[in-house]
Structure 1
Amino acid sequence: MKILCIADETDPLIYSKNLASRYGYVDLVVSAGDLPLKYYEYVISVLNKPLYFVFGNHNLEFLTQFTSHANTINQYGYADGKGMMQFLPAFGGDYTDGKVVYDKKRNLIIAGLGGSMQYNKGRHQFTEKEMFWRMCKMIPHLLWNKVFHGRYVDILLTHAPPLGINDDVDRCHRGFSTFLAFMDWFKPKYLLHGHVHLIDSNANRYGVYKQTKVINVFQSFILDDPSLGKDL
């Protein structure tokens, strides 16, 4: 399986008329956040492939439309609870933040935990305890996957990195120990994150934690793994 991974900054190689010729071979797209929905809309419309995404701590214009329990959301918009329909960009992406999603066609399980460490009480920032609780709410679905699919999850899609792996020393870019617990318990093959910008194109993107490969997908990255998405 070949996955186009994007995060944090728009990539001129993607946001171009040559997108289809460069990346038309991918099976799907995932985003680790901090990108505008219009960018997703362009990628989906050109590649005609599914896109799974989480929110980061920037580009949060439509965050509440996705996170409010009072709103009913579809690909066209959401009900604002007052009998009015508010319209979202018709980007067609699958919101995966705080969810466990099974792509049946590709036999792929993706769990999403977006947001960053709380550093200025901004939106979509979490304390360690809050992130741990968000993970705990996924446990029933993950256990169900183990019973019916033989594994808990294939990919954990986050915005922030795990603590001590690809993270930084400042509070904003510090990783979550919750993600270490997730990898201990549910053994995803990959943890894909963004948030930590790679200014040097030769900077290391990779880390390993036990059975999980941790990859910083800043801007864009192709994950090529034939063992993912095996035929049912």
Structure 2
Amino acid sequence: MKFLCVSDQIDPLVYSTTLKERYGDVDAVFCAGDLSLEYVDFIVTALGKPTFFVFGNHNLEDYDLYTKSDHNNSMTPFQQASRGHGGDHSGQKVFASKHLFFTDSSGKKTPLLIAGADGSMRYNNGKCQFTEGQMFRTLLKMVPKLLWNKIRYGRYLDVFLTHASPRHIHDREDPCHKGFECFNWFIRKFSPALMIHGHIHLYDLQAVRCTKTEKTTVVNAYSHIVVEMKKNFTKGAAHESDISIISDR
């Protein structure tokens, strides 16, 4: 499968009338936060491919529509639907895609398994910011579904979509841009083949944006990047994946 991954910056190569010509062969789009949902809507409309998004620490106008809050609970289903968007919010949940499937060596189809986490490290008590403990508790709530994936599909997870990065992988030392240590724990325990994050802006063309840790390839989706995932379902290697970077910047 081939994925278009975007975050943090409206990219003129993506926000273009030639988007379908450039990226029409992707199977899905992953949006790693700090993008307006109007931009996400444009991508959904132009490509017509399954699109998944999480919220970052900016562009939070519609955040309450997708999270539990007094504001959200006070809205009628019609009000929520009228302000809905085309992408699927993937924050704070684990799910199997209904539209994206791998085919194993026996010809059986198995869905793409996705988990996501909104937000960044807390730095000024703003919306969609979390302490290390809060994010760890969020991940713990995902464990039952991850265990079910392992029983049903033979693996916990394929794609982990977040806004923040893991601690000491692509992150920075200022309070806002520190990564979560619990993401490293999550990677060790549940071995997603691919982790897609945003939040860390890349101004240097030489900056590292793809790192292998444990069995996971961690990719910074800043602006845009195209990633290909190939799963190996041969006997004895059912959980292996090959991740390739097709294009970036």
TM over 0.5: yes
CA distance in 2 between counterparts of 1:83 and 1:27 reads 30
SS in structure 2 of the partner of residue 85 of structure 1: helix
- Contact 1:99 1:111 (C-alpha < 8 Å) held by counterparts: yes
Structure 1 spans left out of the alignment, 5+ residues:
72-77
Within 5 Å, give how 1:1-232 maps onto structure 2: 1-68=1-68, 80-81=74-75, 85-86=79-80, 88-106=82-100, 107-227=111-231
Which amino acid is the alignment partner of residue 45 of structure 2?
S
- Contact 1:42 1:91 (C-alpha < 8 Å) held by counterparts: no
SS in structure 1 of the partner of residue 59 of structure 2: coil
Which amino acid is the alignment partner of residue 102 of structure 1?
A
Structure 2 spans left out of the alignment, 5+ residues:
101-110, 235-249
Which amino acid is the alignment partner of residue 14 of structure 2?
I
Shift of 1:91: 2.9
Shift of 1:226: 2.5
CA gap 1:213/1:86 in 2 versus in 1, 3 angstroms: closer
Shift of 1:33: 0.5
Shift of 1:202: 3.3
SS in structure 2 of the partner of residue 167 of structure 1: coil
SS in structure 2 of the partner of residue 172 of structure 1: coil
Q: Judge which range, 83-92 or 2-11, deviates more.
A: 83-92
CA distance in 1 between counterparts of 2:174 and 2:92 reads 25
Structure (1 or 2) with the greater strand fraction: 2
TM-score when normalising by structure 1: 0.90
Shift of 1:87: 5.2
Q: Deviations over 1:26-69 (max 9, x none)?
A: 00001110100101111011100010111000000010111026
Shift of 1:191: 1.0
CA distance in 1 between counterparts of 2:24 and 2:64 reads 32
- Contact 2:199 2:222 (C-alpha < 8 Å) held by counterparts: yes
CA distance in 1 between counterparts of 2:196 and 2:119 reads 13
Which amino acid is the alignment partner of residue 217 of structure 2?
K
* Counterpart residue number, 1:74: none
CA gap 1:10/1:144 in 2 versus in 1, 3 angstroms: same
* Counterpart residue number, 2:238: none
CA distance in 1 between counterparts of 2:46 and 2:136 reads 37
CA distance in 1 between counterparts of 2:89 and 2:233 reads 20
* Counterpart residue number, 1:75: none
Which amino acid is the alignment partner of residue 179 of structure 2?
G
- What percent of counterpart residues are identical? 44
Shift of 1:227: 2.2
SS in structure 1 of the partner of residue 227 of structure 2: strand
Paired residues in the alignment total: 224
